[in-house]
Amino acid sequence: MPGASIKAAAATGQYTKVCSFAQLAMQGSAVRGDVGVNRHRADEPLGWNVAAMPDTAPGYADSCGRCVEVMCDPSVIRDNYGGSFDRTQACYDSSASLVVRIVDTCPCTYPDNAYSNKRWCCEDQPHLDLSIWAWERLADTKYGVMGLKYRTVPCDYQPQKTAAMAPKPSDGGYIPQSKRNPRDWPEYWPNSVTPNVIYQGGFASPWDASASYPTM
C-alpha cells in the first residue's frame, strides 16, 4: 500500500503524522492484507477501517492486528523528496476520529511502485497507509495526502467523537457468501497480557486539546 506518515511522539502517547490513502490490494473484490491476514472481509471487527505500516517502522514486527485511533490534522506536510502540501483545509472534522487495524505492509523497497513507496514508506517520518474506506471518513480523497494524528488504542476502543460515515462510501463490491472464520484479533485475547501492556501509559485517555503537536 502507498501511504501515510507519522511523527513526533508526545509524552501522552499521541502523535502527528502525514497520511495518504491507498485502496488495499483486491482479490475477487475481497480486501487482502500482507501480514498474514489474506482476505479481510467487511464484516470483520472494524470492517475495512484498516491501515498498512511501513516495514521500516520501529514497531512493525509486532504491528499485525493492532489498532490505532486516527484523526485528521489540518497542517502543511512534506514528502521524502522535499515536496510541500498544504492540507490545512483538508479535514472534514478535525475533532472526530476512528479506529483502524494494521493488516498490511507499506514496503520501503517495492519495484512496481518505487517512486511512491520511497516517497512515503521509508520512515523519513513516521507513516501509515489508510484504506480508502477509512480515509474518506476523514477527508476528501482528492487530496491524496493529509496530516494525521494517531495513537495506539485497544481495538474495541470507542472514540469520544467518531468520524461520520462517508455519504457515498467507495464500493468494495464484496458480499460474503459464507460464514466468516474467526481470527485471533487482539480484542479476543482475554487471557493474554499483551494488549494490556501495549495500552499502558494513558494511550486510551481523551485527546489533549491543549497540547501542541508538530506538523510535517
Segment among 1-15, 23-37, 82-96 with least mean pLDDT:
1-15
pTM comes to: 0.67
Is the domain 15-198 a CATH 3.40.50.720 member?
no
HEC states along the chain? CCCCECECCCCCCCEEEEEEEECCCEECCEEECCCCCCEECCCCCCCCCEEEEECCCCCHHHCCCCEEEEEEECEEEECCCCCEEEECCCECCCCCEEEEEEEEEECCCCHHHHHHHHHHCCCCCCEEEEEHHHHCCCECHHHCEEEEEEEEECCCCCCCCECCCCCCCCCCCCCCCCCCCCCCCHHHCCCCCHHHHHCCCCCCCCCCCCCCCCCC
Every domain of the chain and the residues it spans: 15-198
pLDDT confidence of residue 174 = 54
The pLDDT, as a whole number, for residue 119 is: 66
How would residue 96 be classed by pLDDT, with cut points 50, 70 and 90?
A: very high
Q: What value does the mean pLDDT of the chain take?
A: 66
CA 204 to CA 202: how far, in whole Å? Answer: 5
Strand pairing partners for 129? 20, 52
pLDDT digits (tens, 9 = 90+) for 182-202: 555 555 555 443 433 333 333
**Is the predicted pLDDT of residue 163 greater than 80, yes or no?**
yes
